[in-house]
Amino acid sequence: MEEWDEIEVPKNVKDIFVEMKNTAEMMVDLAYSAALFKEREIAEEVLELEEYLDLLNYNLAVRAVLAARNIKEAERIASILQMGRAIDDISNAAADLAKMVLEEKLHPVVTEVILESEETIGKIVVSPDSVLVGKTLEELDLSTNTGVWVLAIRRGKRWIFDPDEDTKIMPGDILIGRGTRTALDYLKEIARGNIKVMPNE
């Protein structure tokens, strides 16, 4: 597990707040993925991210207090801290779902609800013949071209969580993506090699 106290966090209130929001969103998506696919490694990542978000929330409180120079600013800071607590509550709920996966206490209705959502989670296996192979996520721009956001990549026994734009897709990669069923089905066809040209080509 990472030592979060050694991680450099953003320096100002706005950047910390944005990082908290993005982290909480990632936690929710990964928690749903863990529940849907019964993936313990993803659930464990959610719990690690909860520790990171707790660190961010602490830094948000410290920076916010230091930034308040008068009553008016203190009132504005109070609303930011309230939002920080709300984001922390979301992250705690995602962590609770991850713990249920690890403890194998999930009721089947949970996965049914996830699958019936307008946006759901899908697992996409990349064939060696796919046009995705050898290209970076930036080149592919899958969210624009297919409507699928890649949350994580499983490469052999290794997971890549929240992959960056420079991450290349390799043969045999398993993508965990979020999108509508139609978008996920479309990306699966591309990943299988049944569609030879990306929409932007």
Q: 1.10.287.130, 2.30.30.180, 1.20.58.220, 2.40.30.20: which CATH number matches 4-109?
A: 1.20.58.220
CA distances 97 to 35, 163, 169, 176, 180, Å, are: 7, 22, 29, 18, 22
Which of 161, 159, 162, 168 lies closest to 137 in space, CA to CA? 168
Give the pLDDT confidence score for residue 134 in this predicted structure: 96
Give 28's contacts (C-beta < 8 A, 6+ positions apart): 90, 93, 94
Give the pLDDT confidence score for residue 143 in this predicted structure: 94
Q: What are phi and psi of 196, to 5 degrees?
A: -95, -10
Q: Please tell me whether residue 103 adopts helix, strand or coil conformation.
A: coil
Give the pLDDT confidence score for residue 36 in this predicted structure: 92
Give the pLDDT confidence score for residue 12 in this predicted structure: 86
Domain(s) labelled CATH 1.20.58.220 in the chain stretch across 4-109
CA distance 120 to 84: 26
CATH number given to 118-192:
3.30.70.1450
| pTM, entire model | 0.85
Q: Which two tokens stand for residue 131?
A: 């046009």
Give the pLDDT confidence score for residue 2 in this predicted structure: 46
Per-residue pLDDT of the chain (201 residues; tens, 9 = 90+): 345 455 678 888 889 989 999 999 999 999 999 999 999 999 999 999 999 999 999 999 888 888 777 888 778 888 888 999 999 999 999 999 999 999 999 888 888 888 888 889 999 999 999 999 999 999 999 999 999 999 999 999 899 999 999 999 999 999 999 999 999 999 999 999 999 877 766
Domain(s) labelled CATH 3.30.70.1450 in the chain stretch across 118-192
Q: β-pairing, 120-125 with 158-161?
A: unpaired
